[in-house]
Structure formats: structure tokens, C-alpha cells
């Protein structure tokens, strides 16, 4: 709280847990390529260098009675637009609706445009391709979430979060050491606020050790 500007301190409320189980689960889902949408739909996000593909799937269509695929997709667009904002997807985005005949897919465009209307990055619904994919373009500002989580700094933060989650009172203190790739260690070394906060949470300073043979996705920890 001491780091919060004095003008904002009146808005701070002390609570025992800032993230409840539901919010924690929602944040965890954002780190995966999957999202659960209403009416049983599921979205799979596949970023590529050129575009982001979003595949809408209906794992159990027989369980969704009295609702056709067109309506299910239409009703899921608001939640899908929210996922696009939370993940900060940008550039070209192609959406493959679930269980909708090719000839009906262009009619989904107006509903998707309405769902995207409140986005501050002003995405545009461009129409349906010949293959029935809904084409969207969204202005790029900051890097999308999947890039942030997969870069060396994001991998280092994920490692520290996992270590603190697994911490028990018996393991606190000591001489904690994190071994990681050179790029991950360098990213953490440049983020002294994070290293300081980890030391406060753990109860002892953290030693960072570069391991040239470690890939960025691998790390090891000694308490």
C-alpha cells in the first residue's frame, strides 16, 4: 500500500484475499488457449504470425435442446468479444462458427459487430470469407496476452507465482534459488520490484542462476 499514490489510497480496501476462487479460475483460463462460452460452446484460440484463428466448437450439441447452432453462436458473441478484449488479440482475426451451415454464416456478421461495438480498440467486422470464416480486424496497441505470457519475463513471473503457490510455512525462509535460462534470468534481474516482492512473500532474498542449457519454458527451484 505504501507504493500506491496518496490520491488513490482512499479507494484501497484491505481484504484477506484479493482473488476469490472464481476470479482465480478465470485468470488461469486466460493463460490457456481455451475459453468456455454460453450455451455449451467452447472457443479455441490459435495465434499465428499472420493472424489469430478462433475455432468455436460445440462439444455436446445433443445436450442443447430447443436451440439451433445459429442462435447458440449468436448468443455467445458477447462473451467471445470479452475474451478478445481480455486477451488483447489484435490484427487479423478469423472466427469459425460452430455447427452453422456455410450459407447462413454471413448473417452472423451483424450480431458479431454488435458484440464488438463497446471495444475501445474499435474492431471492425469485415464480413465472411468464401469458407464461411468471420473476418475481424482489431487495432494493435500493447502486445497480446499470449505474447506477454510466453516471453522470458512472462515465463519468469509464472515460475515465481507457482513457487509462491506451492510454498508452505516449513519451506519459507532459507536460501531460495531459481535456476532458469539466460533470457528468463535477465528479464527477472531487470524487474527488481518483482524480486523484492518475492523476497517479502517468501521471507528471504532470491538467488537467480543462469542455466545456458535450460529452454525458456523450463526452470528449477531450491528452497
Mean pLDDT value across residues 133-139: 96
Q: How confident is the model at residue 213 (pLDDT cuts 50, 70, 90)?
A: very high
Mean pLDDT value across residues 89-118: 94
Q: Which comes out higher in pLDDT, residue 24 or 94?
A: 94
Q: What is the DSSP string of 128-192?
A: E-TTSPEEEEE---SPPHHHHHHSHHHHHHHHHHHHHHH--TTTSSS--EEEE-HHHHHHHHT-H
pLDDT beyond 60 at 187: yes
CA distance 203 to 58: 47
pLDDT, one tens digit per residue, over 147-183 is 999 999 999 999 999 998 888 755 566 789 999 999 9
The percent of residues above 90 in pLDDT, for the chain, comes to 68
pTM of the entire structure? 0.80
Instruction: Extract the C-alpha cell encoding 123.
Output: 474492431
Give the per-residue pLDDT at 116.
96
Give the per-residue pLDDT at 133.
96
CA distance 94 to 78: 16
pLDDT beyond 80 at 40: yes
Q: How confident is the model at residue 27 (pLDDT cuts 50, 70, 90)?
A: confident
Mean pLDDT value across residues 195-208: 92
Give the per-residue pLDDT at 20.
82
User: For the chain, which residues make up each domain, given as ranges?
Assistant: 29-141, 151-222
Q: How confident is the model at residue 52 (pLDDT cuts 50, 70, 90)?
A: very high
Amino acid at each position: 500500500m505504501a507504493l500506491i499514490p496518496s490520491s488513490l489510497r482512499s479507494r484501497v480496501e484491505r481484504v484477506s484475499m484479493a482473488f476469490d476462487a472464481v476470479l482465480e479460475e478465470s485468470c488461469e483460463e486466460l493463460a490457456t488457449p481455451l475459453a468456455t462460452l454460453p450455451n455449451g460452446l467452447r472457443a479455441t484460440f490459435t495465434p499465428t504470425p499472420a493472424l489469430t484463428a478462433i475455432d468455436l466448437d460445440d462439444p455436446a450439441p445433443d445436450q442443447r435442446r430447443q436451440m439451433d447452432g445459429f442462435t447458440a453462436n449468436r448468443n455467445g458473441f458477447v462473451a467471445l468479444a470479452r475474451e478478445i478484449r481480455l486477451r488483447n488479440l489484435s490484427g487479423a482475426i478469423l472466427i469459425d462458427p460452430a455447427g452453422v451451415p456455410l450459407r447462413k454464416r454471413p448473417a452472423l456478421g451483424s450480431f458479431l459487430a454488435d458484440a464488438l461495438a463497446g471495444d475501445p480498440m474499435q474492431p471492425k467486422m469485415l464480413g465472411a470469407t468464401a469458407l464461411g470464416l468471420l473476418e475481424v480486424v482489431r487495432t494493435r496497441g500493447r502486445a497480446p496476452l499470449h505474447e506477454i505470457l510466453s516471453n522470458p519475463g512472462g515465463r519468469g513471473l509464472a515460475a515465481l507465482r507457482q513457487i509462491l503457490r506451492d510454498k508452505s510455512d516449513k519451506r519459507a525462509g532459507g536460501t531460495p534459488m531459481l535456476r532458469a535460462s539466460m533470457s528468463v534470468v535477465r528479464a527477472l534481474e531487470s524487474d527488481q520490484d518483482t524480486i523484492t516482492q518475492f523476497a517479502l512473500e517468501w521471507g528471504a532474498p532470491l538467488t537467480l542462476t543462469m542455466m545456458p542449457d535450460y529452454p525458456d519454458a523450463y526452470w528449477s527451484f531450491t528452497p
